[in-house]
Every structure is written in C-alpha cells, then in structure tokens.
Amino acid sequence: MSAFACIHWMNPSQNVGGRWTRRRLVGVALLAICMIQASGCAYFARVDLSEYAPAERTLFLHNFTNQSFQPDVNVELTEIVRREIARRENFALMKTRDEARLWVYGEISVYRKSGRMFDNLRTPTRFELLVAARIKVREKPGENLWFSREVSARVEYSEREGFLESEFEARQRVLRQLAQRVSNVIETEFLNRSTPVTGEEPNTLQ
C-alpha cells in the first residue's frame, strides 16, 4: 500500500470522534516517516560556487580505472560522474588537461554483491550491492595533490520479490549515488581551499 493510499484510508473526514481522528493522524505521520527512512532517501544541500572565479572552477575528469572484477563499471561511473558535475554547474568540464586547473582521478576499488535475504533453500532473494572508489584531485600548477579519499555507496535490490529490479538497474542506481558523493567531496575540498571573488561565503541552496 502506497503512502497516498494509506492517507486516503486514514482520511479523518471518514471517521467519527475527534480522539480517533487524532490517532489516525499520528499514525499517518509515523507511517510517512518510516517509509522515508526505509526508502533510503538522502537529502543534500546544493552548494553554489558561482561567487568564485570561473578560471578557478575548471576541471578535467580522467577516465576511472578499475581494480574490481566487474567489467566496464569504471566506464559507466566515469560517464555518470561527468553528468553529475555538469548538472550542478559548479565546475566547467574541460576537454584537455592543459585547459583545467583541477585534475580529477578515480579508481574503483570494490564492487561487491552479497546476499541479504534467502529462501528456504538458502538461495538469495535479496542482494546488497556495494561500490567504493578512491578519488584524487590534483591542482595543475606543480600538480599539487589536494586530497585522496575513498567514497562508497550501497543499495539493496531483488529480482524476485517486492519492487523488482535487475542487477544492472541497481548498479546504475548505486553509481548515481556514488557520483553524488564524489561531487560532494570535490566541492567541499574546493570550499576549504578557495576564496570567493566577493570575499563572502558561498550560498548554500536548499
């Protein structure tokens, strides 16, 4: 039953007695909170770097390398990270390294699929997918290393019960989460090392 269906079922106008109505309203609120937590939704504040000089916000993204046993996942992650950086519009993605101030490197270190729920025959019915990558950012003048950090993301999926999802679909979902976290750490490090043109703190948009 969806959250909207539950709210309709618990519509106070269809009940008699204020006390019962309040109980159902409390039930709706608790149900909504539980469904949000169970869905694994994450909320991120969006950082606006437009107050920094455009020349400082140029970036070249190297192709991710792959130390896992999952073929082509590095190709997929490179493209998804590229799209996420472009979507945020905080950095200009350059076509060559020489045009960019910052060089971003990435290496997939872990791709792990493990069973989370099993049937009576101990056959997995639900899986957890974990992907981890090490991110490095260097600054072009002198190629100074800004940071080297490992980020990861995980999702659960099932091809047999509940909301059905293939491993490919789950992999796209976890890679999108990982791309968001890669972008977050790059933006955070940029904020720690740079000064706005106006001398003021950047805007954080909700």
pLDDT, tens digit, 9 for 90 and up, residues 118-169: 988 889 999 999 999 999 999 986 678 999 999 999 999 999 888 999 999 9
What is the count of structural domains for the chain? 2
Domain range for 14? 3-39
For residues 20 and 89, state if they share a domain: no
Residue 179, φ and ψ in degrees, nearest 5: -65, -40
For residues 8 and 77, state if they share a domain: no
For residues 35 and 87, state if they share a domain: no
Residues contacting 195, CB < 8 A, separation 6+: 52
Task: Compute the C-alpha angle 32/34/39, nearest 5°.
Answer: 95
pTM over 0.85: no
73 or 3, greater pLDDT? 73
For residues 32 and 104, state if they share a domain: no
Q: Is the pLDDT of residue 114 over 70?
A: yes
Average pLDDT for the chain: 81
- Which residue, among 49, 68, 62, 92, has the nearest Cα to 174 in the 3D structure? 68
